[in-house]
Amino acid sequence: MIISCLGTVSASPPFKYDSIFSFGDSLADTGNFLLSGALAFPVIGKLPYGETYFHRATGRCSNGRLIVDFIAEAYGLPYLPPYLALAKGEKKFEHGVNFAVAGATAIDAKFFYDRKIGQILWTNDSLSVQLGWFKKLKSTLCSTEEDCAKYFERSLFLVGEIGGNDYNYPFFVGGTIKQLKALVPLVVETIVAATSMLIEEGAVELIVPGNLPIGCNAVYLTLFRTPNKSAYDQNGCLKAYNAFSKYHNSQLKLALETLRQKYPHAKIIYADYYGAAKRFFHSPKHYGFSDETLVACCGGGGPYNFNNSARCGHTGSRACLDPSTYANWDGVHLTEGAYRHIAMGLVNGPFTSPPLTFPPIYGF
């Protein structure tokens, strides 16, 4: 209640999102990969994964919270339960669900099996599988179109990040930038089709993130290391691979613009993960990191502390003493500190275009 000189006025609750639905890969997975049993003894199921915030491994591919966790915090919502925990009856949900799976691709797994690289996929739970889970769950949330419209009008849909693995897998087995550029239209088309399907199902506010600057990632810096100094930018990142990420992002932005014209009633937000992350690679000290932003906190040695035969969590690797000073967690994924800065750039701006409808209720 607010008391004014005019008498008592009812205070309306602050407008915010009531639920979040998340799709994607290891940048957003809060436990589905672990629950899927895709690997017998996955390292993300044990410490040091999860050591910083949860003090136990939760299935998140980081030392702590992810972007989606910080977005939930900003709106006073609980962390999203992984869909497979609901399917097993382990968790209840009221404020959204996370469908993301570590290792997931945008394009269906069959595409990669047909090209003889399917065996290196972590999971077959691609974006279309995750959309299937959502449709299944939707029938328990609302029954009529009217009911669903009401339910989803205060829901935020996070469609990704997804697509990074569609490039990672082929790059890691020798694919060239030229070859992978030819794959970009199909990846973008798949992400846009998923976004379109969610709008058809009732979503009205959706965040569609672009890819991170992969040329600043310890795994890329290790695998594609070169004595050619001109291959690196002033921050020590590989220029050609960052240019590839920018190419994907530019194509995605163009496709989303077309989608906005098709669905003028929906708010389709592009999230610039690249720009949000590039800030702390460019000025690490300003964001509380050491100058070693390109070096993984957890790994088995080498110039970037990424060693494929002693990856984080495996024998021969160890984690740094203070992950809060690192942006790079295990060579492939970022630290909680890095994800926090990206999430802040989305929630508070300026890395969401257009901005989110509701301002955050809490800082983080």
Residues acting as catalytic residues = 26, 330, 333
Residue 53: count other Cβ atoms within 10 Å of its Cβ.
14
Distances (CA, A) of 331 to 56, 294, 295, 307, 317: 20, 8, 7, 9, 12
Say if residue 89 is exposed, middle or buried (CB neighbours under 10 Å; 0-12, 13-18, 19+).
exposed
With b meaning 16 or more CB within 10 Å and e meaning fewer, what string describes 116-144?
ebeeebbbbbbbbebbebbeebbeebeee
HSE of 16, CA atoms in CB hemisphere, 13 A: 19
Using N-to-C axis directions, what is the helix angle for 184-200 and 127-141, rounded to 10°? 0
Compute the distance between CA of residue 49 and CA of residue 302 in angstroms, rounded to an integer.
20
Tokens of 225: 């290391």
Do β-strands 267-271 and 205-209 pair in parallel, antiparallel, or remain unpaired? parallel
Say if residue 189 is exposed, middle or buried (CB neighbours under 10 Å; 0-12, 13-18, 19+).
middle
Q: Which residues contact 177 (CB under 8 A, 6 or more apart)?
A: 240, 241, 244
**Kind plus residue range of the DSSP H or E element containing 151:** helix 145-152
| Residue bearing tokens 């209840």 | 92
Compute the distance between CA of residue 175 and CA of residue 339 in angstroms, rounded to an integer.
28
Pick the closest to residue 191 from 210, 214, 204, 172 (CA basis): 210
Q: What Rg do the C-alpha atoms of the chain give, in angstroms?
A: 20
Q: Contact at 8 Å (CB) between 345 and 351?
A: yes
